[in-house]
């Protein structure tokens, strides 16, 4: 897939911070191809070369490409086992990322929310959580009225209505709505990437969020209780998904036929059938 033009978005009031070596800095520059954010415009411009085919530094071990030699040198640490986790064997490009990863195994949560005292393993997770206390969601979807705190979150959400799949697999014809879906596919179907292993049981996961939800099951603590029935859940996302059973609200709308659904996966599954039928009728 070729990308010949790029749109640079700058959010003046952005507070989207991700844990990094300069984690206290906002990342207002957004790549509209993969939704990755950067602290400086120059870094974004360098990153865009990845999508335009301007990567000239290739890894001899895994064929990944980089826009500069320093990026390639940092990446090579993953193959040298210099920064290797003794618990699961996963390797990292520097000690900073290794230290952050180790908290998954130790359970250490050094970052605490000053509003509700909830603790997190990474500063980026705390920053994302803190936004729930602001209560402001100025960006609203015109199809299902769901509101978002950031414009790029609305942008990502709209793909479920339009059926847009901008992330393509370089090994096969599969396409995906979100970048993390592509990464999971590369790992499961093409063995590209690293599995995350539970330190309690043999199960493996492609995403850190899935592993964390799984670890909650080992703790057997269901802290989230439905206010409509006695059911309890391990996470707030599971609780919210369950609460839709008690509601008549259908927030997700098919962009082709207008049919509405309670759950996101239902409209995605429906959209595939709906678009197939539309093509069949057109032909």
Q: Using one digit for the tens of pLDDT, what is the confidence trace for 39-73?
A: 878 778 777 766 665 556 777 777 677 767 777 87
d(CA 57, CA 67): 6
Q: Is residue 36 part of a domain?
A: yes
- Give the pLDDT confidence score for residue 52 in this predicted structure: 62
| pTM (two decimals) | 0.39
Count the alpha carbons within 13 Å of 102 in the hemisphere toward its beta carbon.
Answer: 11
The residue among 164, 140, 165 whose CA lies nearest residue 150 is: 140
What does the alpha-carbon distance between residue 56 and residue 33 come to, in Å, rounded to a whole number? Answer: 20
Of 36-50, 86-100, 161-175, highest mean pLDDT:
161-175
Q: How many structural domains is the chain composed of? A: 1
- How far are the Cα atoms of 24, 139, 168, 258 from residue 124, in angstroms, in the given order? 10, 22, 27, 37
More confident residue, 147 or 19: 147
Out of 27-41, 47-61, 195-209, 267-281, which region has the weakest mean confidence (pLDDT)?
Answer: 47-61
The rounded percent of the chain whose pLDDT value lies above 70 is 83
Q: Is residue 26 part of a domain?
A: yes
248, part of any domain: no
Residue 237 located in a structural domain: no
pLDDT at 2: 40
Q: Give domain status of residue 38, yes or no.
A: yes
Instruction: Name 192's Cβ contacts closer than 8 Å, sequence gap at least 6.
Output: 62, 171, 186
Range of the domain at 24: 1-54
Would you say 65 and 59 are in contact if contact means Cβ atoms under 8 Å apart? yes
Within-domain flag for 6: yes
pLDDT at 4: 41
Domain membership flag for residue 239: no
In a domain, 147, yes or no: no
């Amino acid at each position: 897939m070729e990308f010949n033009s790029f749109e640079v978005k700058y959010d003046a009031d952005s507070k989207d911070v991700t844990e990094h070596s300069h984690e206290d800095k906002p990342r207002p520059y957004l790549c509209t191809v993969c939704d990755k954010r950067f602290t400086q415009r120059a870094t974004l411009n360098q990153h865009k070369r990845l999508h335009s085919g301007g990567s000239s530094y290739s890894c001899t071990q895994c064929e990944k490409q980089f826009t500069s030699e320093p990026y390639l040198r940092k990446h090579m640490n993953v193959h040298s086992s210099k920064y290797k986790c003794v618990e699961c064997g996963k390797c990292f490009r520097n000690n900073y990322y290794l230290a952050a990863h180790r908290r998954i195994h130790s359970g250490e949560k050094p970052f605490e929310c000053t509003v509700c005292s909830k603790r997190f393993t990474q500063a980026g997770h705390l920053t994302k959580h803190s936004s729930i206390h602001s209560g402001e969601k100025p960006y609203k979807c015109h199809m299902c009225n769901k509101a978002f705190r950031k414009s790029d979150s609305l942008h990502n959400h709209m793909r479920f209505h339009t059926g847009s799949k901008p992330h393509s697999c370089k090994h096969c014809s599969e396409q995906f709505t979100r970048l993390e879906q592509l990464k999971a596919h590369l790992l499961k179907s093409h063995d590209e990437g690293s599995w995350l292993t539970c330190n309690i049981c043999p199960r493996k996961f492609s995403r850190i969020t899935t592993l964390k939800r799984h670890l909650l099951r080992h703790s057997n603590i269901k802290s989230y209780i439905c206010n409509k029935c006695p059911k309890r859940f391990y996470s707030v996302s599971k609780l919210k998904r369950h609460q839709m059973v008690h509601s008549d609200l259908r927030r997700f709308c098919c962009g082709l036929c207008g049919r509405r659904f309670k759950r996101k996966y239902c409209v995605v599954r429906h959209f595939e059938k709906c678009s197939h039928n539309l093509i069949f009728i057109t032909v």
